[in-house]
A and B are shown apart, each in its own frame.
Chain A
Amino acid sequence: MKRPAYILTALLVLSAAVAVAQDDPMKGPWQGPEATDIHRGKAAGPQNVPVALVRFFRKYLSPVDGSECPMYPSCSQYTMTCFEKHGLFMAWMMTWDRLYRCGRDELELSPRVMVHGKEKCYDPVANNDFWWKHGK
């Protein structure tokens, strides 16, 4: 009886790793190259609650859970971006979509990026909402 609850908890305990690491072709004391697909949104409305929960997870649970998300952005970061960008309903679905894909077939299908010296699978929100958000 309690097993589903354990599975659920295990699903929610996601690792997080946020980093930006890119080689700068300019070779100057500037910041990294211009990002063209990074969304910078602000949470507003009911999505504040899940975002706060994910923030709590990232701050207190992720550092001690022992695992690290193989994706970039990490699942927790991805979830926050979804809530900020698409609101409660779509973000809820997109979060589960990401959890299905995390660490499985996506690793072989998406490009790799180096983040803090570690190879990660690049899977931003923009790669998963392009067909309804920005048109094909």
Chain B
Amino acid sequence: MENSKYWKVLVTALGLLLSVLAPPLVHAQTTIVIKADDQFQFAETYFAKGEYYRAIGEYERFMHFFPQDPRVAMARYKIGLSYLKGARFTQAVQSFHAMIEECEDAGLVMKSYFKMSESYVKLKQFSNALSALDGLIKKSSDLDVKDKAYYKRGWIYLEMDQWEKARASFDSISPKNRDTYRLKQLSDDMNKKESLETKNPATAGWLAVVPGAGHVYCERYRDAFIAFLLNGAMIYAAYEAFDHDNEGLGGLIAFFEIGLYSGNIYSAVNSAHKYNRKQKRDFFQYLKDHSMVEASVMRLHEGQALALSYRITF
């Protein structure tokens, strides 16, 4: 009985002690004040490290707490870039579209047009990518910006395998920037396309009447061997089955052989198309590696300047 009284007193005393000590303890915590510079820098650090998900969160925090800061537009642009670099292309398009609609910084709007077009290319929505660049060409009065848009548009047409339109777009670049974009070399390289070796799909299909021959034409020798072997075996098996009056088995084998045989023809034609596509893609990659100039219009305090870099592949 006396023991429980003792505990009650002890608990009450401890409670009182804590209630007296707690406020000073709370006040003893360090108060952190985050300035706009620190917050923006923090977001930039994540962006530079490639931590795009976190970068977006920090840019948004910056915009929330410092809505009057002049870097808010840049933060919004960086959010779009984070989506693009993080391979979230749909969100990137939405982000850049919002920038174009609402941002007052002409330089960032111009960059957003290019990045929106790039995002559409990543999404394989080439017509939208072209529309974005057309919108920029219409809107901008700066010759360097227009030329860069024509140049990018030309490369999108090349990716779409529309070479004449690509040439027309490259030809729209003003004489002033033709040398900087190395258009002469690009044109010479584009002419090499005529000498690309291709396979005729119709020829491949007709050759495949003899199973495997179409594959040989498309330089797929192992596929050709298996096509010849399987079709030969199945035709022979069907013949044997019918010859021994086993119509049921013969019919079943013939049913599968029809699939095998038509598949052999499809495969040969498909192989020819894939061969041609690979040739075109390889050539396009060659063009990109040897003739593409990375152009970026950088905003300077005095105005704008065209910055160019040229990729050299060893």
Contact = CB atoms under 8 A, between A and B. Distances in A.
Interface of A: 1, 3-5, 7-8, 11, 24-30, 33-34, 36-37, 92-97, 99-101, 104-106, 109, 127-128, 130-131, 136
A8 B270 CA distance: 23
Contact of A4 (B85, B89, B234): B234
A7 B234 CA distance: 9
B85 A101 contact: no
B230 A7 contact: yes
A132 to B, nearest CB: 9
Nearest to B269: A131
A28 B53 contact: yes
Contacts of B278: 109
A127 to B, nearest CB: 7
Nearest to A129: B270
A34 B87 contact: yes
Interface stretch (B11-19, B22-30, B165-173, B219-227): B219-227
Contacts of B233: 3-4, 7
Interface residues of B, number: 51
Interface of B: 50-54, 82, 85-90, 122-124, 161, 201, 215, 220-223, 226-227, 230, 233-234, 236-238, 240-241, 244, 246, 249, 253, 256, 259-260, 262-267, 269-270, 273-274, 277-278
A36 B259 contact: no
Given A27-B50, A104-B223, A95 B259 contact: yes
Contacts of B122: 36
A34 B263 CA distance: 32
Nearest to B53: A28
Contacts of A27: 50-54, 86
Given A26-B87, A100-B227, A93 B54 contact: no
